[in-house]
Amino acid sequence: MRIPCPLCGERDSKEFSILGDATVKRPDPDGPDAAGEFFDYVYLRDNPAGTHCELWFHEAGCRQWLVVTRNTLTHEVAGAELSAGRKAKKR
């Protein structure tokens, strides 16, 4: 699988480490039901089939976090952008 790093160009996925879903947002620790929301945040993840946004770290390159849009069925990468300055959507 090849990932198009915005800074380094297209690279093999072996240069990257994956963190997971790029659409989750850390809950407010002072919010109502914070314990329940943190449980969901830490342990409950969707396992989508199809196009999905994921966080990848370019460990063997520019050492930047990227949001990679990838099809989880075919592993086709539709694109990548720097995660800096990008806001995650709350699910």
For the chain, the domains span: 2-28+40-82
HSE toward the beta carbon, residue 57, CA cutoff 13 A: 6
Residue 47 is predicted with a pLDDT of 86
Of the options 3.60.15.10, 3.30.2270.10, 3.30.70.1350, 3.40.50.9100, the CATH number for the domain spanning 2-28+40-82: 3.30.2270.10
Tokens of 4: 């198009």
pLDDT along the chain (91 residues), means of 10: 97 96 92 94 90 97 97 96 72 41
Residue 87 is predicted with a pLDDT of 60
| Rounded CA separation 34/32 (Å) | 5
The amino acid at residue 23 is T
